[in-house]
């Protein structure tokens, strides 16, 4: 029985068609960048100022420990170093570089640099996974960069070389992590696989946070609420559905969904903080949505992904 059929049987319905199953996969995966898009407003409204590395640690490590406590599954063999590599690329290095770029550059510049990630991921997938580099994905990626620039870039934005390098390296880090996640697959259930990466990335960030920011400050109730959302909804659940989507969708498709994050961040600033939307931002949001739609048009015709055979998880 295929994964789709088995799932349908469990919920008492009929198996979905491949097209319907793919649309469900896209919708579920889109939760991740939508959740990530709330990070800016949560950070500015609920978290202590000037503690980006502490925020990165408290996003990754508690979420990973929680999932590990539930799954009680440790890596074995080559998966010790593979999970460490993926944790660094997808979590540790990516979070650190993201915050370096955000602190050294205007937010619009940092977000625009990060929006090249779908193009980098599509190129790496063509080389490492033999995924076909479709012209529609390239065009969608280019329009995605344009849309994000319209959303967040300002004409007076200044460029800092270190910040630019950090932003570009962060995009390459996550793109590489996504492609290697797809290439290596996963040997255990999704929650255990996610916990390994979050713990590896979080442990990398702990000494960085202590060296650059010192011990954590006293936290308020609002701080705890903000960190709870970022760790649970914005990281644990978001990365669960993200890695699920990476396994089931083409790399270019999954990566293009990430363009929703700056759009959600802009809309959240409008809805929560009362920031004004300009005509260029509205146009940028429309271009981003168009890029995402263009990038999700199905090829003729790729078979739906099957779930990998998984090993039992012992404690």
Q: Kindly report, residue by residue over 252-265, the tens digit of the pLDDT.
A: 889 999 888 888 88
Residue 81 neighbours by CB under 8 Å, 6+ apart: none
* Residue 306 backbone phi and psi in degrees, to 5: -95, 150
What phi-psi label fits residue 277: left (phi over 0), alpha (psi between -120 and 50 degrees) or beta? beta
Q: How many CB atoms lie within 10 A of CB 191?
A: 18
Instruction: Give the whole-angstrom CA distance, residue 192 versus residue 143.
Output: 36
Instruction: State pTM to two decimals.
Output: 0.84
Q: Which of 142, 156, 143, 144 is nearest to 109 (CA)?
A: 156
Task: Specify if 33 maps to a domain.
Answer: no
Question: What is 1-27 written as a DSSP string?
Answer: --HHHHHHHHHTSPPPPHHHHHHHHHH
- Token pair 């006293």 is found at 218
Task: Specify if 41 maps to a domain.
Answer: no
| CA 78 to each of CA 81, 130, 203: distance values in angstroms, whole numbers, following the listed order | 6, 23, 19
Residue 46 neighbours by CB under 8 Å, 6+ apart: 222, 223, 225, 226, 229
Task: Specify if 243 maps to a domain.
Answer: yes
Full residue range of the structural domain in which residue 223 is found: 51-295
pLDDT at position 314: 52
pLDDT at position 4: 44
User: Which tokens sit at 108?
Assistant: 């619009």
Q: Which of 287, 79, 104 is nearest to 188 (CA)?
A: 79
pLDDT at position 303: 47
pLDDT at position 70: 95
pLDDT at position 101: 79
Task: Specify if 15 maps to a domain.
Answer: no
Task: Specify if 45 maps to a domain.
Answer: no
pLDDT at position 106: 62
pLDDT at position 64: 96
Task: Specify if 260 maps to a domain.
Answer: yes
How many domains, in total, are found in the chain? 1
Instruction: Give the whole-angstrom CA distance, residue 49 versus residue 30.
Output: 29
Q: Which residues of the chain have pLDDT under 70?
A: 1-19, 106-109, 155-158, 273, 275, 298-315
Task: Specify if 21 maps to a domain.
Answer: no
Burial-class residue 295 by CB neighbours within 10 Å (0-12, 13-18, 19+): buried
pLDDT at position 296: 78
Task: Specify if 266 maps to a domain.
Answer: yes
109 in Cβ contact with 145 (< 8 Å): no
Cα Rg of the chain (Å, integer): 19
| CA 224 to each of CA 175, 217, 218: distance values in angstroms, whole numbers, following the listed order | 31, 12, 10
* Residue 75 backbone phi and psi in degrees, to 5: -65, 155
């Amino acid at each position: 029985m295929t994964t789709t059929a088995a799932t349908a049987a469990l919920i008492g319905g009929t198996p979905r068609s491949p097209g319907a199953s793919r649309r469900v996969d896209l919708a579920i995966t889109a939760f991740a960048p939508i959740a990530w898009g709330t990070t800016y407003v949560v950070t500015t409204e609920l978290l202590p100022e000037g503690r980006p590395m502490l925020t990165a640690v408290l996003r990754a490590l508690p979420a990973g420990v929680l999932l590990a406590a539930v799954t009680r599954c440790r890596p074995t063999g080559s998966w010790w170093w593979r999970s460490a590599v993926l944790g660094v690329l997808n979590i540790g290095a990516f979070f650190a570089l993201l915050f370096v770029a955000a602190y050294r550059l205007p937010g619009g510049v940092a977000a625009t640099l990060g929006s090249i990630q779908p193009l980098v991921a599509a190129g790496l997938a063509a080389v490492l996974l033999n995924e076909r580099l479709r012209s529609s994905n390239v065009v969608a990626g280019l329009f995605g960069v344009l849309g994000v620039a319209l959303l967040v870039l300002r004409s007076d934005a200044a460029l800092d070389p270190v910040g630019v390098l950090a932003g570009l390296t962060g995009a390459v880090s996550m793109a590489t992590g996504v492609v290697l996640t797809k290439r290596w697959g996963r040997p255990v259930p999704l929650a255990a696989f996610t916990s390994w990466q979050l713990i590896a990335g979080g442990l990398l960030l702990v000494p960085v946070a202590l060296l650059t920011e010192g011990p954590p400050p006293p936290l308020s109730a609002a701080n705890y609420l903000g960190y709870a959302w970022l760790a649970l909804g914005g990281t644990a659940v978001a990365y669960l559905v993200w890695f699920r989507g990476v396994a089931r969708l083409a790399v270019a498709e999954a990566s293009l969904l990430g363009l929703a994050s700056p759009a959600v961040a802009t809309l959240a600033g409008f809805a929560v903080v009362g920031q004004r939307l300009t005509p260029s931002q509205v146009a940028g949001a429309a271009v981003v949505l168009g890029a995402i739609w263009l990038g999700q048009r199905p090829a003729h015709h790729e078979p739906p992904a099957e779930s990998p055979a998984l090993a039992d998880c012992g404690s």
